[in-house]
């Protein structure tokens, strides 16, 4: 038996036994190991400048919409996803953190009574549970104070701070517990790569997004209600907990070697996702991979990800074109050489060819002018759905996210 979602963005093979499915999937929904907040990401944006031995950061997050959260644990990593997928570091650094909520800071401990944790290169650390309870759908902050032993040593950073929502970096003097200090400036932030805890709701899921720039949400502009990037984040909309493991320019081929997937699986083991949405592959296509190569890489990657026990959901690949009129018209566009293989790969994905995946996200239906046309939708306005021929604009992210029924996608 084959079932399709009402939005035609998921195909599931076999009988769909929801009670059995949930009992198997919710291994991560144990006390203290649910992803309870958004806007967390494995570091991916290189390193700090090295011009200071100490800096404060403040990152903004929102709790899940389904229920109050408690017993919050912060996860920190001393490595960044490199250009070829591997995690790399610069030097050991020391972390001190607190959770700021409703005008009060709550100290974070590591190992009982210790406020600081020194992370070696490529080490990850999970804090003790913080005795705090935050209502559903509520903003809070994480304050993090970073130090290194020698001037010039660096720590990894993630997305650019959004100062409009109170994020940023500040003074070299420890401000992690100083709730009155709010003079933060724009820069790439160091923040938890995941925020775990316990959520008081019955329908839970831990979603990991693995991808390149499009999986992260390049081309989007963060906005209310949750200020995160990309159609996947927008579609999840804090109904389910999610984290991102994405980095521009990376390809599946980068993760099919020991250095790439060993560290990826190390991270998966901390978060224990119930679902993985996989978007990597667009750079393999533009890099010249044949259909046979794409099929081989996808099958191998699906097997690796599926071995974690998570449900793997594969995204289809959006067009890549050049344009003579800034993508205002269809006639001004020219498809790239890889478009034929992209079409064949997408059709193969839609057939759900492996038991290692349970469905797919149809990312093309909104932004492609017609099924398998290879052209971006155009409405007469320059850069309406893409501004560079590769990445979706904010409009495209908004409209694509609106087509996804994530409860169906996740089998909830």
Q: What is the CATH number of the domain that holds 268?
A: 3.40.50.1110
Number of domains composing the chain = 2
> By C-alpha distance, which of 242, 239, 350, 389 is closest to 229?
242
Q: Give the pLDDT of the chain (412 residues) as one tens digit per residue.
A: 222 232 233 333 334 343 333 344 444 344 568 999 999 999 998 999 999 999 999 999 999 998 999 999 999 999 999 888 877 889 999 999 999 999 999 999 999 999 999 999 999 999 999 999 999 999 999 999 999 999 999 999 998 999 999 999 998 999 999 999 999 999 899 999 999 999 988 778 899 999 999 999 999 999 999 999 999 999 999 999 999 999 999 999 998 976 677 878 888 888 889 999 999 999 999 999 999 999 999 999 999 999 999 999 999 999 999 999 999 999 999 999 999 999 999 999 999 999 999 999 999 999 999 999 999 999 999 999 999 999 999 999 999 999 999 988 888 7
Let me know whether 112 and 76 are in one domain. Answer: yes
Tell me the whole-structure pTM to 2 decimals. 0.90
Let me know whether 300 and 365 are in one domain. Answer: yes
Is 411 part of any domain? Answer: yes
Using CA atoms, how far apart are residues 138 and 129, in angstroms rounded to an integer? Answer: 19
Residue ending a domain, among 201, 230, 247, is 201
Are residues 136 and 67 in contact, defined by beta-carbon separation less than 8 angstroms? yes
Let me know whether 236 and 188 are in one domain. Answer: no
Domain that holds residue 385: 1-30+205-412
> By C-alpha distance, which of 166, 180, 185 is closest to 52?
185
Let me know whether 277 and 230 are in one domain. Answer: yes
Residues in the chain: 412
């Amino acid at each position: 038996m084959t079932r399709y979602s009402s939005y035609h963005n998921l195909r599931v093979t076999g009988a769909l036994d929801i009670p059995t499915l949930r009992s198997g999937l919710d291994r991560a929904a144990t006390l203290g190991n649910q992803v309870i907040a958004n806007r967390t990401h494995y570091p991916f944006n290189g390193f700090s400048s090295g011009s200071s031995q100490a800096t404060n950061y403040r990152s903004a997050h929102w709790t899940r919409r389904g229920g109050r959260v408690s017993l919050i644990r912060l996860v920190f990593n001393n490595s960044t996803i490199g250009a070829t997928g591997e995690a790399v570091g610069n030097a050991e650094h020391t972390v001190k953190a607190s959770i700021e909520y409703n005008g009060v800071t709550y100290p974070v401990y590591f190992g009982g009574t210790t406020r600081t944790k020194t992370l070696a290169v490529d080490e990850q650390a999970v804090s003790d549970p913080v005795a705090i309870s935050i209502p559903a759908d509520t903003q809070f902050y994480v304050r993090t104070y970073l130090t290194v032993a020698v001037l010039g040593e660096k720590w990894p950073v993630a997305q650019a701070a959004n100062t409009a929502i109170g994020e940023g970096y500040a003074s070299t003097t420890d401000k992690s517990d100083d709730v009155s200090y709010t003079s933060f400036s724009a820069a790439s932030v160091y923040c938890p790569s995941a925020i775990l805890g316990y959520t008081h709701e019955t329908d839970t899921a831990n979603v990991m997004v693995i991808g390149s720039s499009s999986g992260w949400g390049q081309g989007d502009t963060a906005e209310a209600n949750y200020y995160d990037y990309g159609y996947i984040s927008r579609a999840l909309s804090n109904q389910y907990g999610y984290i991102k493991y994405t980095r521009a320019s990376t390809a599946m081929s980068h993760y099919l070697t020991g250095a790439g997937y060993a560290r990826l699986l190390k991270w998966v083991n901390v978060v224990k996702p119930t679902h993985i949405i996989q978007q990597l592959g667009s750079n393999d296509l533009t890099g010249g991979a044949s259909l046979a190569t794409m099929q081989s890489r996808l099958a191998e990657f699906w097997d690796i990800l599926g071995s974690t026990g998570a449900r793997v959901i594969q995204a289809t690949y959006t067009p890549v074109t050049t344009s003579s009129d800034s993508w205002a018209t269809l006639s001004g566009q020219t498809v790239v050489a890889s478009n034929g293989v992209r079409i064949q790969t997408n059709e193969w994905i839609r057939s759900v060819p492996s038991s290692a995946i349970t469905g797919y996200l149809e990312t093309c239906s909104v932004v492609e002018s017609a099924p398998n046309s290879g052209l971006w939708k155009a409405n007469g306005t320059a850069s309406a759905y893409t501004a560079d021929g590769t990445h979706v604009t904010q409009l495209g992210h908004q409209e694509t996210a609106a087509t996804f029924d994530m409860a169906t996608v996740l089998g909830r």
